[in-house]
Amino acid sequence: MLVAVYGNLIYDQIVTINDGMNIGNSNNAVISNNIGGIGNFYRAVLKSKLFDCRLVSCVGDDVAGRSIIANFRNDTKFNHYLMTIPNTKTSFAVNIVNKCSFQRTGFVDWGICSTYNLWYPVDANWHHLMYLDRMTINNIKEFSKYGVVSVDLCDSNNLESLFDKLQYVDYVFCSSDGINLHSKNIPYRKALIAHQPGFISVNYRDSGLEFKQTDVVGGLNVLGAGDMFSAFCVKSIVDHGKVDIELVHNSTRDLLIEQS
């Protein structure tokens, strides 16, 4: 199974606070750098050896962009589709992760990836798309001709404006609690898959809702958890024809523990 992943690559600076945040004072923290956006999805694939995966994205013509390209240039296993756009900047984010409260706060300086329409179908069996609102209806129609299509919905704002595109999507992943999971109005083809701390639900178009409460582990850096969850779901669907909720939850939790 070859999965192509389309979307932003963001240069992340991560500030991890272990003991709670004291507003107005200096706080002890661990500061690290990472490749965010679809890089989180790819990291889960790579570390857990889920399936063959190709990245389709672009970066700016700057130090951050060159650092991202260099990182993937060493990955000789896959043929990625990464483009550097001249005279532009790479998206840059600062993420504050509070392990005590499971909360994260992000500040993003959007670069070229937020506006540049690079997305076109590459040779793959499955196409996983981020930021559906930035794609045209013709983009989505084209993807649906070349294999399974899945998307990540980051929030429920203006969801109805995406209905014309969602009718061409097989699997919809969502981390927002603002979406009515029982709604039959959302025009996905096969399943709406939602995840929040404490529960996972899968609403199959043909067979109804499956719901499971999940354990919440304290002290984790949950940055990128949704993208990792999506990667494990894709693997489960490929292997079993459906989402094995227990397996997907445990796999995501174990990877989060490892990276924390």
> In this structure, are residues 227 and 38 in contact, taking their beta carbons and an 8 Å threshold?
yes
Q: Give dist(CA 106, CA 13) in Å, integer.
A: 10
Average confidence (pLDDT) per 10 residues, the chain, 260 residues: 86 84 82 86 80 86 90 68 88 84 80 64 86 78 89 70 88 72 72 82 83 70 77 91 90 80
**What pTM, to 2 d.p., does this model score?**
0.84
Q: Rounded distance, CA 159 to CA 201, Å?
A: 19
| Cross-strand bridge partners of residue 241 | none
> Any alpha helices (H) in 13-98, and if so which ranges?
38-48, 63-73
Strands 199-204 and 208-213: antiparallel
User: Quick check: 65 and 73 in contact, CB under 8 A?
Assistant: no
Asked if 114 contacts 8 with a C-beta cutoff of 8 angstroms, the reply is: yes
Asked whether 73 and 24 are in contact (CB, 8 A), the reply is: no
Q: How much is the pLDDT for 63?
A: 92
Residue 154's CB: how many other CB atoms inside 10 A? 14
Residue identified by tokens 């003991």 is 19
Beta bridge partners of 130: 152
Residue with tokens 């005279």: 87
Structure tokens at 20: 């709670």
Q: Which CATH superfamily, name and number, covers 2-10+36-90+115-259?
A: Ribokinase (3.40.1190.20)
pLDDT at 186: 77
pLDDT of residue 78: 56
- pLDDT on residue 127: 92
Determine the pLDDT at residue 169. 93
